[in-house]
């Protein structure tokens, strides 16, 4: 029904329709994450605001591209960071994945949570999280990113040129040219909290504003 509607609507109405769907999804996330109930009228106003901001960003992007073409490499922004982690709740047959994209100052950009069932091995779960993050960043066309996770085994396998016969080895070698780094659990706390939150949901979620469970972590890491 949604795709049929998009085919018959004008471009402007199709854009607004898509934003309304997103705003309804946002309304649901606010209730699940923060127990906040948005007014129905606010759902439409938020959709209109999103569409206005997106159209303005596209115009600015065209202007920025013209300027970027004459910049030197030294003037380009530093790499964005993407933290990844997996969670395996005791006694439950599921695996949660948390992914958080941040800019070079550590500020929140986007986050994603995923839920897998049945429960898988620790390193398999970490590798699935890395695979999902790589595919997501590719779909977003964000360019070079530093991927960070706290599984040294997965990072070492990613960096290795040897063919690994086990399952997670075949996953990470598919993206062997990407930048993947090992960080300690303390430096990966944001993704860890998102992964734990993922096990409480019913499906994957894309988060455009920081959920309450990671707000304090983001602030502490930016200080």
Give me the residue spans of the domains in the chain. Answer: 2-68, 80-222
What are residue 83's DSSP bridge partners?
Answer: 100, 148
pLDDT band at 164 (very low <50, low <70, confident <90, very high): low
The token pair at 74 is 């030294």
Of 12-16, 17-21, 199-203, the poorest mean pLDDT is in 199-203
Query: What pLDDT score does 82 carry?
Result: 92
* Relative orientation angle of helices 11-34 and 40-68, to the nearest 10 degrees: 110
- Confirm if 11 and 58 have CB atoms less than 8 A apart: no
- Confirm if 145 and 175 have CB atoms less than 8 A apart: no
Q: Indicate if the pLDDT at residue 149 is higher than 70.
A: yes
Q: Give me the mean pLDDT over the 139-164 stretch.
A: 77
Q: What is the pLDDT of residues 81-120, one digit of tens each?
A: 899 999 998 878 889 999 999 887 788 888 899 888 778 8
The sheet carrying 145-149 orders its strands as: 180-182, 145-149, 80-87, 95-102, 108-116, 205-207
In this predicted model, which residue has the larger pLDDT, 172 or 221?
221
Q: Which residue has tokens 């695996």?
A: 95
Domain 80-222 has CATH 3.40.50.150: no
Query: What pLDDT score does 75 carry?
Result: 46
Q: What is the pLDDT of residues 192-215, one digit of tens each?
A: 999 998 888 766 788 888 888 888
Find the Cα–Cα–Cα–Cα dihedral 57, 60, 66, 69, rounded to 10°: -50
Q: Indicate if the pLDDT at residue 72 is higher than 50.
A: no
Query: What pLDDT score does 200 carry?
Result: 85
Q: Give me the mean pLDDT over the 74-78 stretch.
A: 46
């Amino acid at each position: 029904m949604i795709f049929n509607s998009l085919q018959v609507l004008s471009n402007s109405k199709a854009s607004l329709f898509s934003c309304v769907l997103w705003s309804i999804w946002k309304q649901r996330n606010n209730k699940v994450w923060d127990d906040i109930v948005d007014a129905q009228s606010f759902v439409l106003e938020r959709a209109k605001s999103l569409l206005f901001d997106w159209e303005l960003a596209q115009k600015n992007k065209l202007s920025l591209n013209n300027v970027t073409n004459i910049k030197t490499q030294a003037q380009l922004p530093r790499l964005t960071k993407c933290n990844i982690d997996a969670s395996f709740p005791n006694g439950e047959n599921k695996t949660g994945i948390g992914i958080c994209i941040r800019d070079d100052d550590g500020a929140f950009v986007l986050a994603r949570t995923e839920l897998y069932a049945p429960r898988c091995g620790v390193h398999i779960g970490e590798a699935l999280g890395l695979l999902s993050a790589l595919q997501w960043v590719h779909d977003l066309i964000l360019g070079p990113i530093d991927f960070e996770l706290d599984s040294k085994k997965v990072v070492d396998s990613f960096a290795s040129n040897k063919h690994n016969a086990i399952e997670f080895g075949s996953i990470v070698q598919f993206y062997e040219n990407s930048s993947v780094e090992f960080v300690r659990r303390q430096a990966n706390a944001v993704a860890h909290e998102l992964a734990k939150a993922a096990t409480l949901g019913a499906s994957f979620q894309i988060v455009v504003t920081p959920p309450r469970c990671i707000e304090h972590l983001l602030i502490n890491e930016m200080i």
